[in-house]
Structure 1
């Protein structure tokens, strides 16, 4: 090397040291020369040019924490490949001079903390890790961070990378199989430490957030993790995630997560020491790193913002790179690994991605480390989600655009102010379908689409229904959403509470979203992006696209809003004329389903009956599309079965019918087929063999096929809308023989099952425990099974046929009327009175007692009491948590009750339950 080259190298190394000095100083280290050494100047001291033991040369920096040597830095010129100089820093690490105080040595007898740095790149090896390995970090850690590790030096595993190798077995009791696989997959990835990133693919609705909460709890309690960052895609999802953590009960002692660990929203400035888990969007993290104000309230302008170019970040001592040990990216946004990856890579943390729809960029960021995979069809097979159908609405304007002739007077709307003025066009205006609802709004096109939806809704889309299903419409922008809301209300002839816009600019968007989940009145919501990812609206049955989506990941997220399953009772509470949710319908008014990336539903052969599908399975002549359809039909049936019917069907099958469905789904999965045909001489035969193996449990078991068809007939009701009827006669004769049979059979049933059904026990004997709605529901489910097939209406109408005095104003009975029926039949009550009337009578008497006692209620207090009584009448009681559902949520939920009723709120609930229920 020439003298000139040597001088250049020294100059480059000097420049690197200037940068390293600055980085150390930013992290709170006191950088000193040996001749002016003061180990008490700061908790962390970086000593330049320290002479090492004989034969080991001079270390660029020795690091002291609390006056004791803990580490070494080897400085190299900018651009030097640092992995090639690790031997040199290692030499310094085990060649200490005799005149230094050692804080601790790593297990290999060297200094525990070894760094290589060039000013633009820093590598760090922690000697307390199992199999210590250098990793790239954004900046030197603070001295306090190293001190924390040193305090654990006597533990078997001082760092989380060691502790995760000895995690206790996972309690699988509350978890689904896919959740178990995901948690085990991440933990195995952490143990192996092959990568610093893990990707979990889980279908929408499969419980990704609950999985992440369970994982977070295990890593905080057993894995040595100090703090976790939970990234969500939207601010409204931050609230949903916070609720998940608040409601999570730990499997060991049953306490809530938030009773054990502090969970906070991320804000600007130093992280509170007590924070174990921070929830944020990546946009808020970016602003906090830049020391920009991040308020407690959400910023709609920030939510979902994606910068034009990849972001860069600088060191922030308030939020240093070592702040988090784990970052969970939930509902990973498609841009997070592109424009935002600089924020993720700032932190020295393991990153876990949770998504239903990973793309190539996602796989690339996570280094192809897919630790578990759970597809949408698999989730349908497991009854985690429901299958979907596609209904296409196509109009001439939406397909081809249109032309407005010159001279036509048209309204023009200012995008910013929405002010409208009228102008005459001075030339023809020709617009394409792509310009529709952006540059041009065609009101009749919108009207035609929703008139078609209205007219086909109860004949083709949901035949036999009469209530508009919960429908979510995806609009192109806020102005388009505004126009749709107006048109939908007009087309259906409904008021403001029927359809609402739920976007970031809408007032009370969160309250409207809550109402959309629980209110029977709000049937249609129009959104742009706010409900596009992650947000649960379980009763949703129609996902309506009037905007095109060209991202397969985003489309799947939007489609997935309708996939959630929901208990039948909860579903009927908001959609009374529906029995169970077994599917949803994707309504396409723009052509979004015609993109190549759209996968078809499982239910592909709608014209083929279940009986024919089973027969083709028995004959081994079933096709791939028919196999998928059979899986969809069986999954829907399995979802409708009672627990007793499911157990009985499994016994006929000789195993789990759900597993049979899962095998059918796997047989038509493209990835499974690709594995099967790899290297096969005849790919078609190999693919067909997959299907034959999957249908074998059905093909070889005639009893199973017969029982499936019997159960389908029990749970299906055919609606004949084609045959015209003719009146033959009408006259007033009452046949009481059938009614007598029903009443006598009902009385015998109550006597026979008095000892085994809780509801009958509580209503016929002197019990202190109040009957619960679940007890009533159990009785209703039992009597609805063959051979009885009773409902409260059937039994009540039998009594009316025998004695008209039992007739009521309403012809419809509720489940709680079973209470009245049981009490009257066994002789506890001498009159058969609807449960609602009985509750109202007792409520009136209770109010009279309160008045006599000098207690009066304001109008606001009466609103709460009156609505509590309505809940009691329909559910045989009210719980405190019911106050956070409709209609109470409209007045603030539990907080509103405490505000208006004061400290007596809980006491009043208990008193009403005691005085008004059976």
Structure 2
């Protein structure tokens, strides 16, 4: 058999599988079926190898070549075109044929001449006649619709990075690029972005069906939920009310489905004929080692032809598509759209370096979409060095599968390394030491103010290892079963319900997993990740880290972690196995210098330290601090920076180091000098000069000492150091000479401040002026004075001043054991100025004045206030004691509102009320 004849036989077989009737010219019968392929059809250019007829109409041509011509098959395109434009014998219509194929027994290339810029592409198999018939019935091809008919994207409810991704993808599709990569950081809304594109491709692009490919069943379920929740911007109905979405659980694709969600494992099973193990869909393919014996090649399935899908969206495309399972993507004639947070070189290569959108982890932190992270290391001797069990030692021997134990002697000396822990040898002490170290670190250094354990995820090596960790966790923390749970595919409890509780409820506080929560699963309240397993795959490690990066608002975090204050600002990666050092990761912590104080970073930048580590560390601190500060502190910093908010200062530092922007700046500088440069010909010194200029501009605000001081001051106001480590004991009770000297210094600095600033501060003006002008004292004035005194360098809080006077003038100070109120500052100022001979709580003075006032008032009236009126006057007096005054608006506060508020008070006092309030505010405070 000649090579040409063998190739023709294979082409005939493939055409038959796709539903074509193959005929020689002599047996021509166009009524045989919908699609007929006629061999050696005569044309005025010679006989065509095959002419394709659909519904008796000539629509296409196949140029057949022997297999050895496969590598040069594109050379045959001119020959195919010649037959397509030739006159066919017995054909009345001489319009050029639309569908052009070149084929060997192994390779098929196809061109649709109705496309805007017809371009051949390789396809796995011939199309069915019904497909060509449907395409002929459409006024435009899919590629023409993508190039010419896609409307402008509505930007409402979309983040900038999502807008960039959708528009970038549509530009790529309009240019008929077969592969496109969307690189978006975890938490930036990749799935939401993808669904937005799917909706537009179905509605405006006229796509027939789209495959959404995932690599675990859990991720498929998650994607399906997002499709059900999605409401398009131009229609009030949910996506699933507009289009049929099928989550594939069998080999049968619903002919009416427009979106099909499937694991790549199941699709591989359908196309290879290899039965699927249902549990295989629960494990990420990055964790599965495929052996040569397991390999099955994908073959044509008439029930799922190659044209089944117009687009394939590959979620988390960094993981599963480069080995055996790549055949699934090769099979379908579809544009491939990859979504990933962690691309590597293989990813860029597979997608032809066509990155249609890029949104990095560092950018997402700057925008507040994600949070930064710190790395905390735990090392133990056995983790580092291993250990040795001597022969004849009596130890437990445990079956790996059943976990049944027997007590017996070791047969020989057994030395093991840290890498063998929890596989061949389990050292319970090693697990316990790591857990105890984590507990201590979290409680004393990482989250010292928390009353409950922050939501924590622990990555274990194996299911058995996870069980050991669970048992020791409950022991070390002294907690019950609800406190920590195992979340793996083999867990006896329903993994989904545990995961839901971990995400939304108080318990469990800690989850232990092997791989189920390693990728793609959102648990936003997560604040601690403990690695007790090493990870070889760079991308997989990045995905595991990604579980902690999601930002979360303060109210949502507080719902599951009651003592959390404010929004989630970071997470901490606790490395107990050297995972951070064992490989080079793509995204590094923004915090490059966790041991360097903020004030030193600020000073370093001001002095000219502009290396990446310093600049990124400062950016991370500023972004984190910006989320913690109140509005007053934010305003002060913005004022000191010349109008730049704290978060923008941090973002500016990150943006200054953007490599692409640096290159563009260098090119612009070269152009301005009249020098022609491309990215490839830029000199290193030109790039460095551009970087230096950008970084200098971003660092310029920190040249101002006032800004540096304001930022450091704000940090000190916000943070407290809680020392749980150093235990104290009483060695002496009483004031020492040194303590008394310090107290005198505090009092003196207070007196000096009052004298120096009496003309600047309204509250001091009140005390220095004539008695009648004192009556303008307000709580705002006291609050302003308190803020000025308590800030560095004075640090003269009301409590500290009171204690100083108690040490030095004990006989003149009353109420040292009572809780301080802000208004006690009034008493402190009066005492310091000599207006009062005794220092006592402001509320006590108000009480004394109230007794005198009400006695005098009753005497002047001739009749005493009624009991209910007296009770209300006492309530008003209590408010004055804590706020310096009272007005109608104050009746909205709880202690007054609960008793009936302004309406009740007006009913008791009538028109007298306003006069009484004014009189009390003056008499009780003055």
TM-score (norm 2): 0.74
Say which SS state the counterpart of residue 124 (structure 1) adopts: strand
Residues 311 and 342, structure 1, Cα contact 8 Å, conserved in 2: no
Say which SS state the counterpart of residue 323 (structure 1) adopts: coil
Aligned to 1:827: 901
Residues 823 and 829, structure 1, Cα contact 8 Å, conserved in 2: no
Aligned to 2:598: 610
| Pairwise CA distance, 1:503 | 0.6
Deviations 1:815-850 (A, max 9, x none): xxx99779526639999xxxxxxxxxxxxxxxxxxx
| Pairwise CA distance, 1:671 | 6.5
| Pairwise CA distance, 1:230 | 0.8
Aligned to 2:16: 25
Aligned to 1:845: none
Of residues 286, 289, 306 in structure 1, which corresponds to 2:268? 286
Say which SS state the counterpart of residue 488 (structure 2) adopts: coil
Say whether 1:679 aligns with 2:679. Answer: no
| Pairwise CA distance, 1:402 | 0.2
Say whether 1:169 aligns with 2:152. Answer: yes
Residues 739 and 801, structure 1, Cα contact 8 Å, conserved in 2: no
Deviations 1:599-639 (A, max 9, x none): 54222233444344445444544543221111101211333
Residues 186 and 549, structure 2, Cα contact 8 Å, conserved in 1: yes
Residues 454 and 561, structure 2, Cα contact 8 Å, conserved in 1: yes
Residues 113 and 126, structure 1, Cα contact 8 Å, conserved in 2: yes
Aligned to 1:887: none
Tell which deviates more after alignment, 450-459 or 668-677: 668-677
Aligned to 1:690: 694
Of residues 630, 652, 659 in structure 1, which corresponds to 2:618? 630
Say which SS state the counterpart of residue 481 (structure 2) adopts: coil
Residues 265 and 281, structure 2, Cα contact 8 Å, conserved in 1: no
Once the two structures are superposed, the pairs formed by residues 488-527 of structure 1 within 5 Å of their partners are: 488-507=473-492, 508-527=494-513
Q: Distance in 2 between matches of 1:18 and 1:799?
A: 101
Q: Distance in 2 between matches of 1:531 and 1:822?
A: 51
Once the two structures are superposed, the pairs formed by residues 840-855 of structure 1 within 5 Å of their partners are: none
Once the two structures are superposed, the pairs formed by residues 321-400 of structure 1 within 5 Å of their partners are: 321-400=306-385
Say whether 1:44 aligns with 2:44. Answer: no
Of residues 172, 194, 200 in structure 2, which corresponds to 1:212? 194
Say whether 1:97 aligns with 2:88. Answer: yes
Say which SS state the counterpart of residue 266 (structure 2) adopts: helix
Aligned to 1:415: 400
Residues 653 and 704, structure 1, Cα contact 8 Å, conserved in 2: no
Q: Distance in 1 between matches of 2:257 and 2:13?
A: 29
Q: Distance in 1 between matches of 2:258 and 2:902?
A: 56
Aligned to 1:122: 108
Aligned to 1:149: 135
Residues 739 and 799, structure 1, Cα contact 8 Å, conserved in 2: no
Q: Are the structure 2 counterparts of residues 717 and 427 from structure 1 closer, same or farther at C-alpha, using a change threshold of 3 Å?
A: closer
Once the two structures are superposed, the pairs formed by residues 555-594 of structure 1 within 5 Å of their partners are: 555-579=541-565, 580-594=567-581
Say whether 1:234 aligns with 2:216. Answer: yes
Q: Distance in 2 between matches of 1:464 and 1:243?
A: 36
Q: Distance in 1 between matches of 2:289 and 2:588?
A: 31
Deviations 1:363-405 (A, max 9, x none): 1211121222222111111111111111111001110100011
Q: Distance in 2 between matches of 1:139 and 1:46?
A: 15
Q: Distance in 2 between matches of 1:254 and 1:364?
A: 40
Say whether 1:178 aligns with 2:164. Answer: no
Say which SS state the counterpart of residue 324 (structure 1) adopts: coil
RMSD (Å) for aligned C-alpha atoms = 3.4
Aligned to 2:66: 77
Q: Are the structure 2 counterparts of residues 359 and 740 from structure 1 closer, same or farther at C-alpha, using a change threshold of 3 Å?
A: closer
| Pairwise CA distance, 1:708 | 4.8
| Pairwise CA distance, 1:96 | 3.2
Q: Distance in 2 between matches of 1:619 and 1:739?
A: 40
Q: Are the structure 2 counterparts of residues 608 and 400 from structure 1 closer, same or farther at C-alpha, using a change threshold of 3 Å?
A: closer
Tell which deviates more after alignment, 179-188 or 545-554: 179-188
Say whether 1:475 aligns with 2:460. Answer: yes
Aligned to 1:546: 532
Residues 548 and 592, structure 1, Cα contact 8 Å, conserved in 2: yes
Q: Are the structure 2 counterparts of residues 823 and 191 from structure 1 closer, same or farther at C-alpha, using a change threshold of 3 Å?
A: farther
Deviations 1:464-515 (A, max 9, x none): 2221111111111111111111111111111111111111111211111111
Say whether 1:88 aligns with 2:79. Answer: yes
Q: Are the structure 2 counterparts of residues 300 and 237 from structure 1 closer, same or farther at C-alpha, using a change threshold of 3 Å?
A: closer
Deviations 1:247-276 (A, max 9, x none): 111011232111111111124444222211
Tell which deviates more after alignment, 176-185 or 394-403: 176-185
Aligned to 1:484: 469
Q: Are the structure 2 counterparts of residues 692 and 117 from structure 1 closer, same or farther at C-alpha, using a change threshold of 3 Å?
A: same
Q: Are the structure 2 counterparts of residues 27 and 689 from structure 1 closer, same or farther at C-alpha, using a change threshold of 3 Å?
A: same
Aligned to 1:861: none
Aligned to 2:206: 224
Residues 267 and 295, structure 1, Cα contact 8 Å, conserved in 2: no
Say which SS state the counterpart of residue 259 (structure 2) adopts: strand
Q: Distance in 2 between matches of 1:653 and 1:311?
A: 66
Tell which deviates more after alignment, 344-353 or 717-726: 717-726
Structure 1 residue runs of 5 or longer lacking an equivalent are 1-7, 743-797, 804-817, 832-918
Q: Distance in 2 between matches of 1:322 and 1:110?
A: 23
Residues 274 and 296, structure 2, Cα contact 8 Å, conserved in 1: no
Say which SS state the counterpart of residue 321 (structure 1) adopts: coil
Aligned to 1:113: 99
Q: Are the structure 2 counterparts of residues 478 and 723 from structure 1 closer, same or farther at C-alpha, using a change threshold of 3 Å?
A: closer
Aligned to 1:315: 300
Q: Distance in 1 between matches of 2:165 and 2:572?
A: 29
Q: Are the structure 2 counterparts of residues 609 and 740 from structure 1 closer, same or farther at C-alpha, using a change threshold of 3 Å?
A: closer
Say whether 1:533 aligns with 2:536. Answer: no
Aligned to 2:796: none
Q: Distance in 2 between matches of 1:311 and 1:819?
A: 74
Of residues 380, 391, 403 in structure 2, which corresponds to 1:406? 391
Q: Distance in 2 between matches of 1:516 and 1:167?
A: 42
Q: Are the structure 2 counterparts of residues 293 and 164 from structure 1 closer, same or farther at C-alpha, using a change threshold of 3 Å?
A: farther
Q: Distance in 2 between matches of 1:128 and 1:822?
A: 79
Deviations 1:831-874 (A, max 9, x none): 9xxxxxxxxxxxxxxxxxxxxxxxxxxxxxxxxxxxxxxxxxxx
Number of residue equivalences: 741
Q: Are the structure 2 counterparts of residues 799 and 22 from structure 1 closer, same or farther at C-alpha, using a change threshold of 3 Å?
A: farther
Q: Are the structure 2 counterparts of residues 370 and 682 from structure 1 closer, same or farther at C-alpha, using a change threshold of 3 Å?
A: closer
Of residues 558, 576, 589 in structure 2, which corresponds to 1:601? 589
Q: Distance in 2 between matches of 1:220 and 1:647?
A: 48
Q: Distance in 1 between matches of 2:632 and 2:574?
A: 35
Residues 283 and 516, structure 2, Cα contact 8 Å, conserved in 1: no
Q: Are the structure 2 counterparts of residues 669 and 420 from structure 1 closer, same or farther at C-alpha, using a change threshold of 3 Å?
A: farther
Residues 216 and 284, structure 2, Cα contact 8 Å, conserved in 1: no
| Pairwise CA distance, 1:36 | 2.3
Say which SS state the counterpart of residue 234 (structure 2) adopts: coil
Residues 68 and 100, structure 1, Cα contact 8 Å, conserved in 2: no
| Pairwise CA distance, 1:333 | 4.3
Q: Distance in 1 between matches of 2:33 and 2:284?
A: 39
